[in-house]
Amino acid sequence: MTTILITVSLAAIAVAIAAAWMIRPEPPSPAMRRALAGRKYAHRGLYDNSGKAPENSMPAFKAAIAKGYGIELDIRLSGDGRVVVFHDAGLERMCGDGRLVSGCSFEELSSLRLLSSDERIPAFDDFLAAVSGAAPLLVEFKTGLPGGPGAGELCRKAMEALDSYEGDYVVESFDYAVLEWFRANRPAVMRGQLAMGLRCYVPAMGARAAAALPFRRRAMLSWLLYNRRGRPHFVSYRFQDAGLALGLCRALGAMSAAWTVKTPAEGASLARGWDAIVFEGYLP
């Protein structure tokens, strides 16, 4: 019996050490900590999808700046390789068009209106020129499936604009390949791993997209086991799902951001324990 207990104990210790190694972050520098600590980022800008300032539009971003908030935004590639500010892979929800962003040139995308407004899909470089350092940025990189082939091109082209940008920014993605790229090519840029509870990936991605991502990989994403690839400085987690993996990352030195906070009560409950929040629907 004693031998069995010793064997089980040693096995448990080995598993714990392996797990800690896999999810180990890269502790942020003091300057990085100052860049994220206490930030309140307006999710896709301070937007109103029923009015003239829809999500990820210049009026929504200007409204966030006017209130003194940071800006969270999404970027992805158009079909002709332009970096654009847009959340969804498809255009249906925001533009009433059945095509994919990746299936359209930037000229075609520029002809589409965002919902009922007169606003258009911004180019990322135009967005940066307009903001010009007036607000801290949380830039989410949107690729295809995590670990797919699209991360490198998006990272390279986004950094063509960001390398000369003089404002404060940090980057994040659900795709660990984005973090891996930044770790290798721009290690001084603060990088964050986005994640959520395991049960959330299928509804968030859609059944078809999730089917291309096996359960094992979804579990590894949720449990932050791909941190071994990107070694994030911070973890941006769906706050309702925060658990052991995030707690261990924090214990190992990572900062954390909560998304998406939608009520004052939620914001008050997260005032301690999180370094930054991403919010919408109210003013924190």
Condensed to tens digits (0 to 9), the pLDDT of residues 62-116 reads: 999 999 999 999 999 999 999 999 999 999 999 999 999 999 999 999 999 999 9
Diameter of the chain measured on Cα atoms: 74
Return the pLDDT at 22.
75
- The more confident residue out of 273 and 156 is 156
Class of residue 141 by CB neighbours under 10 A (exposed 0-12, middle 13-18, buried 19+): buried
Q: What is the pLDDT of residues 159-202, one digit of tens each?
A: 999 999 999 999 999 999 999 999 999 999 999 999 999 999 88
Mean pLDDT of 126-151: 95
Return the pLDDT at 225.
97
Return the pLDDT at 65.
99
What would the CATH number be for the domain defined by 28-279?
3.20.20.190
Alpha-carbon torsion 137, 74, 267, 272, what sign? negative
- 222 touches 263 (CB < 8 A): no
Radius of gyration of the chain (CA): 19
Task: Return the structure tokens found at 76.
Answer: 């992805």
> Among residues 5, 22, 80, 27, which one has the least CA distance to residue 235?
27
Mean pLDDT of 139-166: 95
- 38 touches 258 (CB < 8 A): no
Which band of pLDDT confidence, cut at 50, 70 and 90, is reported for residue 11?
A: very low
> Among residues 220, 249, 236, which one has the least CA distance to residue 278?
236
Which band of pLDDT confidence, cut at 50, 70 and 90, is reported for residue 1?
A: low
Task: Return the structure tokens found at 164.
Answer: 């000369």
Q: What is the pLDDT of residues 211-250, one digit of tens each?
A: 788 899 999 999 999 999 999 999 999 999 999 999 999 9
Class of residue 9 by CB neighbours under 10 A (exposed 0-12, middle 13-18, buried 19+): exposed
Reported pTM: 0.93
Return the pLDDT at 73.
99
Return the pLDDT at 8.
47
Mean pLDDT of 121-127: 99
- 128 touches 165 (CB < 8 A): yes
Q: Is 70 exceeded by the pLDDT of residue 124? A: yes
For the chain, the structural domain boundaries read 28-279
Mean pLDDT of 36-56: 98
Per the listing, tokens 């010793």 go with 6
Query: What proportion of the chain, given as a percentage, has pLDDT over 90?
Result: 83
